[in-house]
Amino acid sequence: MLKKLNKIKTIKYLDRTIGNSILKLLPIKNPHFSDRIKSILVIRPGGIGDAVLLIPTIKKIEKIFPKAKIHILAEKRNAEVFSLFDCNCEVFRYDKPSEFLGMLKYKRYDLVFDTEQWHILSSIIARYVGKFVVGFDTNKRRKNLDVRVGYSHTRYEVDSFLDLLEGYCRYAGLSVDKKWNYPFLNIKTSKLLYDVVVFTGASIKQRKWDIVKYAKLINKLNDLDLKIALIGAKNDVDFNKKIAKDCKVDDFTGKTDLKETAKIIASSRLLFSTDSGILHIGAALGIKTVSLFGPGIEYKWAPKGKNHKTVNMYLPCSPCTRFGYTLKCPYAVRCMKEIDVDRVFKAITSLLQDMLFVALQPIRQYN
């Protein structure tokens, strides 16, 4: 986990230094618009969550340009997301030199969507490989863009990505339907296995909840005769072992890849999660969710609709994350520490009751 965080910090440092230096040397981009789009590149660095929430946009791009060759430039953290749905796209990783160089041989894509929200290097790559570039107008990166789209932290990320497509279509005189619905991921499962799947992981430590509280919550759900599963990455194994030792729970932590994890979620009634990429997978699958929010921006990241509840203390100091940066907390992360078990338990059971329309009942399909 530490190695992963250091790599992310290095990339952000290079973006601030090298990216800004290159940007100063570049003139404002001249557009080379074509009404015959044969090749499209979608740039999506970052984690799992952004990639999941980009899926509705990719599906609409495929529909508008059915004959175009579509490539996605991703990275190790999120590339696997694009294998979770029927996508006629080829995925390249910028952090894998052989794949990145392979993508560069297609230099001069007719159209590039740079979906990065802030950093500069992605817009430089987009400018280099793209004849016509669409991206977010958030800083000086705008000089690399032909269509500049506004960005808001209070707008759900699915809709922000669709704004990019709308911005291009408006320029090109095309129409686009921006409507979307859950589910937009479809992973088939043979039967219902779990009432609640619990994901405890987080990309930053400030989004973690307390081990003791997780155990108390799961025990309260066990008292209702509910079947519970724990999921997480390899770096969550020790954390989840401490939870599982005092609870009745099936622990899959560190034992499944992303697709297998998604199948476990798809076989459940509800996902309880931190503010994370796994949360977005659950919502995209059409599974009910309860999520914990503190440092992260609820308006931007929390799943929408009556099937989704957030637990948020709404302290004056939160949210404090902007464009992937979370400052050191001077208040000992009160926004997460003050979330109590009863509040979460109430949110979970209310959603399960709404779904069943009767008092809670145990699942009968599993052994």
pLDDT 10s digits, 70-114: 999 999 999 999 999 998 899 999 999 999 988 887 778 999 999
**What pLDDT band is residue 352 in, cutting at 50, 70 and 90?**
very high
Closest CA to 169 of 124, 130, 114, 111: 111
Domain of residue 119 covers 8-172
Question: Which of 106, 140, 172 represents a domain boundary (last residue)?
Answer: 172
Single pTM value for the model: 0.91
User: Mean pLDDT, to the nearest integer, of 61-68?
Assistant: 96
As a whole number of angstroms, the distance between CA 258 and CA 22 comes to: 36
pLDDT at residue 104, as a whole number: 84
Question: What's the mean per-residue pLDDT of the chain?
Answer: 91
User: What whole-number percentage of the chain has pLDDT above 70?
Assistant: 93
Residue 105 burial (10 A CB sphere; 0-12, 13-18, 19+): exposed
Q: Are residues 162 and 201 in the same domain?
A: no
Least confident window among 127-136, 253-262, 276-285, 356-365? 356-365
Question: Which of 110, 142, 172 represents a domain boundary (last residue)?
Answer: 172
The CATH number of the domain holding residue 148 is 3.40.50.2000
- The answer to whether residue 367 is domain-embedded is no
Q: Are residues 203 and 352 in the same domain?
A: yes
| pLDDT of 237 strictly over 50 | yes
As a whole number of angstroms, the distance between CA 215 and CA 236 comes to: 15
**What pLDDT band is residue 165 in, cutting at 50, 70 and 90?**
very high
Q: Tell me the three state secondary structure of residue 268.
A: strand
Q: Are residues 116 and 253 in the same domain?
A: no
Q: Are residues 277 and 161 in the same domain?
A: no
CA-CA-CA-CA dihedral for 152, 157, 158, 164, to nearest 10: 50
Strands 288-293 and 147-149: unpaired
Q: Are residues 210 and 166 in the same domain?
A: no
- The answer to whether residue 345 is domain-embedded is yes
| pLDDT of 1 strictly over 90 | no
User: What whole-number percentage of the chain has pLDDT above 90?
Assistant: 77
| pLDDT of 291 strictly over 90 | yes
Q: Which helix or strand (DSSP H or E) is residue 63 part of?
A: helix 48-64
As a whole number of angstroms, the distance between CA 334 and CA 318 comes to: 9
| pLDDT of 324 strictly over 50 | yes
- Taking each helix axis from N to C terminus, what angle separates 211-222 and 341-356, rounded to the nearest 10 degrees? 40
Q: 136-148: per-residue pLDDT in tens? A: 999 999 999 999 9
pLDDT at residue 326, as a whole number: 84
Question: Which of 141, 172, 203 represents a domain boundary (last residue)?
Answer: 172
| pLDDT of 239 strictly over 70 | yes
The answer to whether 352 touches 200, Cβ cutoff 8 Å, is no
Q: Are residues 238 and 330 in the same domain?
A: yes
Q: Are residues 218 and 154 in the same domain?
A: no
As a whole number of angstroms, the distance between CA 59 and CA 94 comes to: 22
Q: Are residues 208 and 96 in the same domain?
A: no
